[in-house]
């Protein structure tokens, strides 16, 4: 019986032009999910106008440690705006006709979408949301006070997630990358999710928060919770954000 991990590495060697649909002139997949006409869209505070304390990279790295619990604390909409912008926000650059995001993405394909559970975000009802990088907005998927408990159960980390101010869920749409990169795009999905989580850890240090990454969870339960399309959308990584000490 072949080792599944070795098989994955062998099947994602580059280049394998036979797996690249772009070369075969297959239509390009959408770069973003469609926003329903009746969706509740919330505009976040402008990240350019936020005053966030600076923390050195060295300090952020040296102070990070595994989290086993959070106190019941909250973050503001400004904090949320900053975290989302740092992890997947878009910005223009002079050398490119198109904006780039604040994390690397092979081929600029951006196969990862950011969902999050708002547990204690001031001004935002408890529930499940999705980030829209191009407009720096979020849409409400479901407002429900039980969502943090459901996510805590699905992630097998109940005590952390139910006390977190916000829990991020990164969902991959692999075909966005596979269309242009072939099977190598599957590796890109995993790499990019790691870049995003690391950016979250650095950004969270600036607002006095800690991050608890979670890679062990019940996939099917998370798919049902976030109403994902089986086979097309894949939950890859979860990260809870909160504080170890109660706010005064």
Count of other CB atoms within 10 angstroms of residue 37: 5
Q: For the CA atoms of the chain, what is the radius of gyration?
A: 18
80/241 Cα distance (integer angstroms): 10
Question: Which of 108-117, 204-213, 226-235, 238-247 is predicted least confidently?
Answer: 238-247
- Considering the domain boundaries, does residue 36 fall inside one? no
- Considering the domain boundaries, does residue 182 fall inside one? yes
Torsional class of 141: left (φ above 0), alpha (ψ -120 to 50), beta (otherwise) = alpha
Structural domain boundaries, residue 104: 4-29+48-242
User: What value does the mean pLDDT take over residues 195-209?
Assistant: 96
Beta bridge partners of 177: none
8/189 Cα distance (integer angstroms): 13
Give the confidence band of 207 by pLDDT, cuts at 50, 70, 90: very high
What pLDDT, on the 0 to 100 scale, is given for residue 248?
Answer: 45
110/96 Cα distance (integer angstroms): 16
- Considering the domain boundaries, does residue 109 fall inside one? yes
- Considering the domain boundaries, does residue 59 fall inside one? yes
Q: How many domains does the chain have?
A: 1
Tokens matching residue 200 = 């979250």
107/176 Cα distance (integer angstroms): 10
CATH number (domain holding residue 174): 3.40.109.10
- Considering the domain boundaries, does residue 37 fall inside one? no
- Considering the domain boundaries, does residue 110 fall inside one? yes
Name the percent of the chain lying above pLDDT 70: 98
Tokens matching residue 171 = 């969902």
User: Per residue in 185-196, pLDDT tens?
Assistant: 999 999 999 999
User: What value does the mean pLDDT take over residues 71-76?
Assistant: 92
Q: Are 157 and 214 in contact (CB under 8 A)?
A: yes
Asked whether the predicted pLDDT for residue 55 surpasses 80, the reply is yes
Name the percent of the chain lying above pLDDT 90: 86
- Considering the domain boundaries, does residue 42 fall inside one? no
Rounded to two decimals, the pTM is 0.95
- Considering the domain boundaries, does residue 162 fall inside one? yes
Q: How many residues does the chain have?
A: 248
């Amino acid at each position: 019986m072949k080792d599944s991990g070795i098989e994955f590495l062998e099947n994602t060697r580059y280049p394998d032009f036979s797996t690249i649909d772009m070369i075969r002139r297959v239509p390009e997949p959408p770069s973003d999910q469609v926003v329903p006409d009746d969706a509740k869209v919330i505009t976040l505070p402008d990240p350019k106008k936020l005053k966030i304390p600076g923390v050195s990279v060295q300090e952020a790295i040296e102070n990070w440690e595994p989290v086993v619990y959070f106190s019941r604390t909250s973050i503001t909409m400004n904090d949320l705006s900053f975290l989302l912008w740092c992890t997947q926000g878009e910005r223009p650059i002079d050398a490119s006709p198109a904006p780039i995001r604040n994390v690397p993405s092979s081929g600029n394909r951006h196969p990862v979408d950011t969902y999050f559970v708002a547990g204690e975000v001031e001004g935002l009802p408890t529930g499940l949301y999705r980030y829209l990088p191009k407009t720096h907005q979020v849409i409400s998927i479901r407002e429900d006070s039980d969502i943090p408990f459901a996510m805590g159960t699905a992630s097998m980390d109940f005590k952390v997630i139910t006390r977190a101010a916000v829990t991020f869920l990164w969902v991959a749409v692999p075909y966005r990358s596979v269309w242009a990169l072939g099977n190598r795009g599957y590796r890109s999905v995993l790499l990019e999710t790691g870049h995003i989580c690391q950016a979250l850890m650095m950004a969270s240090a600036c607002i006095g928060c800690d991050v608890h990454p979670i890679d062990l969870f019940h996939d099917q339960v998370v798919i049902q919770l976030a109403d994902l399309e089986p086979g097309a959308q894949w939950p890859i990584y979860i990260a809870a954000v909160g504080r170890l000490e109660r706010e005064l």
